[in-house]
Structure 1
Amino acid sequence: MNLLKLLLNTLIFSGIVSSQKCGRTLVRKEIREMSAYERKAFMNALTKLYKNKPIAGSKLHKLDFFGWSHTQMYYDIHQQPSFFPWHRYFLQLFQLMILQVDPTVVIPYWDWTKDSQEPHKSPVLTDAFYGSNGN
């Protein structure tokens, strides 16, 4: 694993984590179990993150930065023994960032096993959820 990338990500995200207090348990729902209101609130929170000012010293907004940092860490973290704890941490940071723009929004998960036989027919890949399946 590239130690410099890990340290950089830790330093950037540490401000988000250190400013948080434990207050309530967040329960993630499978995306198809979310109400239309919950999905809209989630998408609105993502839009707000995208429209926020870029991170200091960067052209990346917070939402773009998460995508970028995941891409940068992809080969260093995936298929490694540390993948699961790292990914849980990464999702926790993402959730904390979402809570900063809307404290009612909990990030959903996708139970892809429900779509594993025909992923191209997944309702998650429609306009009602995240958009196109690539066709």
Structure 2
Amino acid sequence: MAYVRKNVTKLTRSERRRFVEALLEIKRRGEYDEFVRLHIAHFVGDGHRGLRAAHMAPSFLPWHRRFVLDLENALRRVDSSVTVPYWDWTRDRKTTSLPWTGELLGGNGRPGDRQVMTGPFAYRTGNWTIRANITDGNFLTRDLGRSRNPMALPTKADLKQALDDPVYDAAPWDSTVTKGFRNKLEGWGTGRDSWRNHNRVHRWVGGAMLGGASVNDPVFWLHHAFVDMQWQRWQRRHRKHRYLPAKPPGRDSRQYRRIVARDERLPPWDVTPDELEDVSKIYRYA
């Protein structure tokens, strides 16, 4: 029977506590830092000559679907009642609303070094030291809304623009493509439109959420659960359309062996995007 992922605002006090405790436990065991390292290893862009599986590519959505599922399974081995909640950033847009409360993820970083001082993931609790990183920092940082050059979270209209596109992805299958649901949701662009939807949320949170080590902020999972939910919404809305490309690009393409087609293995797992399109038997969203 499929379990349920809830809106973070709908969690009971007990559910919030159990979610936090499960995260802290896998951190103590060293499991959590392995998720950070895996994401860093797969944080490569268009300029990378090898295979791009996690970002700036069609497999952005199935890759992160499997990634979040693996984290969720780790949490459920600690406490079988726990699931990953989602943060609807089109509704809960204030820096003081959920999930930015003391009993859940803690609040904004302090002025200066942007260190998070409140909540269970503050460095001073002794439970959340950053060990896998791309910088030397060992404490969690945030700059919610950006103290300099403030920005807003994506809106329902921004999300609708992505959901309305019936095509999953399109050539050249990278960060420059202007058509297709995948990149409109992932959020690469140019000029003023350079940060949309998923990417814009990472920028809005700031601090640790910038770059390959963004997994160090637990909000990463709530954010990506919501992104995953949008893929499910898109699938229901456009039932005749599927993951693209269906076949690998040929030798004459600059994306030859650089992206994952529908039936190709999605590294680092032995699974294909095709196998991750339908997860209705595993979980559903409330």
How far off its partner does 1:40 sit?
A: 0.4
Q: Counterparts of 1:25-36 in structure 2 under 5 Å? A: 25-36=2-13
Relative to the length of structure 2, the TM-score reads 0.34
Poorly superposed stretches of 4+, deviation over 6 Å: none
Cα displacement (A) at 1:89: 0.6
Match of 1:70 in 2: 39
Residue 133 (structure 1) shift:
1.8
> CA offsets per residue over residues 70-128 of structure 1, 9 Å max, x none?
23223342231110011111111111111111111111111111134x4x343312213
1:90 to 33, 51, 67: 67
Q: Structure 2 counterpart of 1:79, which letter?
A: M
Give 2:101's aligned amino acid.
Answer: T
* Conservation of the 8 A alpha-carbon contact between 1:126 and 1:133: no
Residue 112 in structure 1 maps to residue 81 in structure 2: no
Shift in Å, 1:43:
0.9
CA deviations 1:33-77 (Å, max 9, x no partner) are: 10000010111111221222xxxxxxxx10111122223223342
Q: Which has the higher helix share?
A: 1
Task: Tell me which residue corresponds to 1:51.
Answer: 28
What SS class does the counterpart of residue 43 from structure 2 fall into?
helix
Alignment length (residue pairs): 102
Using the aligned pairs only, state the percent identity.
Answer: 34
Quick one: which amino acid aligns to residue 98 of structure 2?
P
Partner SS state of residue 2, structure 2: coil
- Indicate if the aligned counterparts of 2:17 and 2:103 stay in contact, CA closer than 8 A: no
Q: 2:107, 2:76 → 1: CA distance?
A: 27
Distance 1:67 1:132 in 2: 21
Q: Distance in 1 between matches of 2:87 and 2:102?
A: 15
TM-score normalised to structure 1 length: 0.67
Q: Are 1:99 and 2:89 matched, yes or no?
A: no
CA-based RMSD of the aligned residues comes to 1.6
Q: Aligned with 1:50: secondary structure?
A: helix
Cα-to-partner distance string for 1:6-41 (whole Å, 9 max, x where unaligned): xxxxxxxxxxxxxxxxxx311100111100000101
Residue 122 (1) aligns with residue 130 (2): no
After TM superposition, the structure 1 stretch with the greater mean CA deviation from structure 2, 120-129 or 40-49, is 120-129
Q: Which runs of 5+ in 2 are unaligned?
A: 45-51, 111-286
Structure number with larger C-alpha Rg? 2
By relative contact order (CA 8 Å, sep 6+), the higher-ranking structure is: 1
What 5-or-longer segments of structure 1 have no aligned partner?
Answer: 1-23, 53-60
DSSP-derived class of the 2:57 partner: coil
